[in-house]
Structures are given as structure tokens and as C-alpha cells.
């Protein structure tokens, strides 16, 4: 008679392979074995509860972040937005995209003495 051995991954014990074949880990109550749905001892509800809770949490965080910045959509440009966005030739697209990588954040060539030397090409490209 062949004996079937089931080894369940338990993240709190990193080396389950060191146990004799007749021992295996029982499912934990913290969702460790049910997180990936691998253990047959876990019910269908336990297998689905972890991903559903995570999805709801990500949605809540995203909605809260969006609500924090919602009032800024209709707002005007302020402070340094005018030179950085409305007057910047790199943002307005008056030159080639490669020029963005040779200029500072304000659109001034990095080699220029008046350059601020704040090199942020990816940020500038998001405004383009």
C-alpha cells in the first residue's frame, strides 16, 4: 500500500522539508495555507476570503487617494506651475522628445549656466 504525503507550506516555518515524511504542517488560522488555495483542508470560503479582502482594501485606498486630489482638477496653475508647465518648451512639445533628456525640469539646457540642474525628465514627460 502506497502512502500519500501532503506537505502544506507554512510561512512561519521556512524549512518544512526537514521533517520526516510522516509529519506535515496543519493549516494556520492566519490564512497562510489558504492564501494560495493549495491545502485541501481549507474550505472554499477560506480560499476566497483573502483575495477578496485584499481587493477591497486596494479599492478603498485608491478611492481615498482620488478624493484627496479631486478638488485640484478644476484648480488653476499656482506658484511654479506656470514656468514648469505652461511656459516649458519641453512640456509644450515644441522640440523633439530627446530634448527632454538634455534639459532640466524647467526646460533649460543642463549645460547652461542658468540651469537649475534639477534633472527630472520622466516627470517632464508626464506633463507633455
Q: How far apart are CA 40 and CA 11, in angstroms?
A: 17
C-alpha cell at 1: 500500500
Considering the domain boundaries, does residue 8 fall inside one?
A: no
> Both 63 and 28 in a single domain?
yes
Beta strands in the chain (DSSP E): none
Q: Say whether pLDDT at 10 is over 90.
A: no
Band (pLDDT 50/70/90 cuts) for residue 55 is: confident
pLDDT 10s digits, 56-75: 999 999 999 999 999 888 88
Q: How far from chain centre, in Å, is Cα 110?
A: 31
Number of domains in the chain: 2
| Owning domain of residue 50 | 16-72
Q: How far apart are CA 103 and CA 92, in angstroms?
A: 14
> Both 68 and 93 in a single domain?
no
The residue with cell 509644450 is 92
> Both 65 and 39 in a single domain?
yes
> Both 21 and 59 in a single domain?
yes
Q: How far apart are CA 18 and CA 9, in angstroms?
A: 13
Whole-model pTM: value is: 0.46
Band (pLDDT 50/70/90 cuts) for residue 45 is: low
Q: Of 19-33, 65-79, 81-95, which gets the smallest average pLDDT? A: 19-33
Considering the domain boundaries, does residue 97 fall inside one?
A: yes
> Both 20 and 62 in a single domain?
yes
DSSP code of residue 74: S
> Both 45 and 88 in a single domain?
no
The residue with cell 514656468 is 83
> Both 65 and 87 in a single domain?
no
Considering the domain boundaries, does residue 6 fall inside one?
A: no
Residue 73's pLDDT is 86
Show which of 27, 47, 72 is a domain's final residue. 72
Amino acid at each position: 500500500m502506497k502512502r500519500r504525503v501532503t506537505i502544506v507550506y507554512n510561512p512561519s516555518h521556512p524549512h518544512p522539508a526537514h521533517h520526516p515524511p510522516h509529519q506535515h504542517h496543519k493549516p494556520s488560522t492566519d490564512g497562510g495555507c489558504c492564501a494560495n488555495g493549495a491545502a485541501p483542508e481549507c474550505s472554499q470560503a477560506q480560499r476566497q476570503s483573502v483575495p477578496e479582502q485584499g481587493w477591497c482594501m486596494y479599492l478603498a485606498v485608491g478611492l481615498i487617494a482620488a478624493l484627496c486630489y479631486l478638488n485640484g482638477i478644476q484648480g488653476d496653475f499656482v506658484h511654479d506651475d506656470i514656468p514648469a508647465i505652461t511656459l516649458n518648451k519641453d512640456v509644450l512639445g515644441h522640440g523633439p522628445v530627446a530634448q527632454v533628456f538634455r534639459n532640466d525640469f524647467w526646460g533649460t539646457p543642463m549645460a547652461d549656466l542658468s540651469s537649475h540642474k534639477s534633472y527630472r525628465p520622466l516627470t517632464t514627460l508626464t506633463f507633455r
